[in-house]
Amino acid sequence: MKILVCISNVPDTTSKINFTGDNKEFDKNGVQYVINPWDEYALTRAIELKEAKGGSVTVLNVGEADAEPNIRKALAIGADDAIRVNAHPKDAYFVAQQITAVAKEGGYDMILMGKESIDYNGFQVHNMVGEMMGIPSVTPAFKLDMVDDSTARLEREIEGGKEVVEVKLPFVASAQQPMCEPRIPNMRGIMTARTKPLKVVEPAGGEAKSEYVNYSKPEKKSGVKLIDVENAGELIKLLRNEAKVL
């Protein structure tokens, strides 16, 4: 069984975020990047399936050279090899096109990724890949098991409960917690990751369908006002005139 796991290179949530170029570009200076946390669920589950059933796990990233440290981290966690499409991830459609091109050439049985990236929270790529490839897309799944060599069973949240889906290979699925416990690389994994194949390919054409016009930060939170418990009238006045929630 060949599994393709797509990972994104995203800013750590503790990083200070700034914008440049008249708020049209993200400022990477001083920003620490990590593997998208949702993608770590997909990666770990893929490795668990490989260990249980045999096969291989390939990591795919659409990104520039600065993503390679986190690609190597994915290899250290347990992936067998990696592919980097040498292109800036312009938008979800462009990324889906690149994943589709690699997946079609590689003939993978399963394409896994996180339900969304924590930087843009688009929740789009997995469904686009399924549509472009003409195969089922199950999203977002919190459980994934193999029924037999050609069928998988997934569980996903729906309003008021859960849905159990059985699907034939090949298929696309996006992962969320609690699919598994994400792994961290051990020293042996870090050492072996240095020699695992990391193939760099050029993008397979295709243009982005959208562009980011500008970015803005949330407004700074105002100070907290403490109201005496006996002064309900003042509280109502502030809620009506300042907070404007009444």
| Residue 223 confidence (pLDDT) above 80 | no
Does residue 86 form part of some domain? yes
Is residue 223 included in any domain, yes or no?
no
- Model confidence at 99, pLDDT cuts 50, 70, 90, reads very high
**pLDDT, tens digit, for every residue of 108-155?**
999 999 999 998 888 899 999 999 999 999 999 999 999 999 999 999
E-strand ranges in 64-219 read: 81-86, 110-114, 137-148, 151-158, 161-168, 171-175, 198-201
Tens of pLDDT, residues 42-84: 999 999 999 999 999 999 999 999 999 999 999 999 999 999 9
242, part of any domain: no
pLDDT of res. 224: 78
Does the residue 232 lie in any domain?
no
Q: What integer pLDDT is reported at residue 237 of this predicted model?
A: 87
**What type of residue sits at position 42?**
A
Please count the CA atoms within 13 angstroms of the CA of 154 that sit on its side-chain side. 27
Going by the DSSP 8-state scheme, the letter that residue 14 receives in this structure is: T
Whole-prediction pTM? 0.85
Total domain count, the chain? 1
How many angstroms separate the CA atoms of 109 and 129, rounded? 14
Answer whether residue 198 shows pLDDT above 90.
Answer: yes
Tell me what the pLDDT averaged over the chain comes to: 92
Type of residue numbered 177: Q
**What is the domain-level CATH number for residue 162?**
3.40.50.620
Look up the domain containing 92 and give its range. Answer: 2-216
User: Domain for residue 49, yes or no?
Assistant: yes
> pLDDT above 70 covers what percent of the chain?
100
Query: Is 58 a domain residue?
Result: yes
List the one residue out of 105, 109, 76 whose CA is nearest residue 7. Answer: 76
pLDDT the model gives residue 91: 92
**pLDDT given at position 240:** 87
Task: Specify if 234 maps to a domain.
Answer: no
Q: For residue 230, tell me if it sits in a domain.
A: no
